[in-house]
């Protein structure tokens, strides 16, 4: 027997706990064996387009830096394998 799940998002007007208890009461009247699971979504931070662009630039710089470091590590391992005489093709580009 397949399980069926519903994900419901409700607007909170007064308090989330009172809304949750009303939801539990309403569903238990019609379906007494239905389990309910609460999943709280944190408030999202609101920013400006400038802050988004700044974060995008920071991610690009970090990405370039991490790629450079990983290429240096790969070259160093290949050099160590060449010097030691071990030819393994574990690393690929």
Q: Which helix (H) or strand (E) holds 71?
A: helix 49-84
Is the predicted pLDDT of residue 72 greater than 90, yes or no?
yes
Is the predicted pLDDT of residue 89 greater than 70, yes or no?
no
Higher model confidence: residue 5 or residue 55?
55
Question: For residue 91, what pLDDT band results from cuts at 50, 70 and 90?
Answer: low
Residue 28 to residue 50: CA distance in whole angstroms? 48
Is the predicted pLDDT of residue 70 greater than 60, yes or no?
yes
Question: In degrees rounded to 5, what are phi and psi of residue 22?
Answer: -65, -40
What's the pTM? Answer: 0.42
Question: For residue 90, what pLDDT band results from cuts at 50, 70 and 90?
Answer: low
**Can you count the helices (H) and strands (E) in the chain?**
2, 0
Please state which of the ranges 15-24, 37-46, 51-60 shows the lowest mean pLDDT: 37-46
């Amino acid at each position: 027997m397949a399980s069926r799940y519903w994900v419901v998002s409700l607007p909170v007007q007064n308090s989330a706990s009172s809304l949750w208890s009303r939801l539990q009461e309403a569903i238990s009247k019609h379906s007494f064996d239905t389990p309910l699971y609460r999943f709280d979504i944190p408030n999202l931070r609101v920013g400006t387009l400038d802050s988004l662009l700044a974060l995008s630039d920071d991610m690009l710089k970090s990405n370039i830096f991490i790629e450079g470091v990983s290429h240096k590590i790969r070259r160093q391992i290949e050099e160590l394998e060449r010097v030691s005489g071990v030819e393994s093709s574990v690393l690929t580009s």
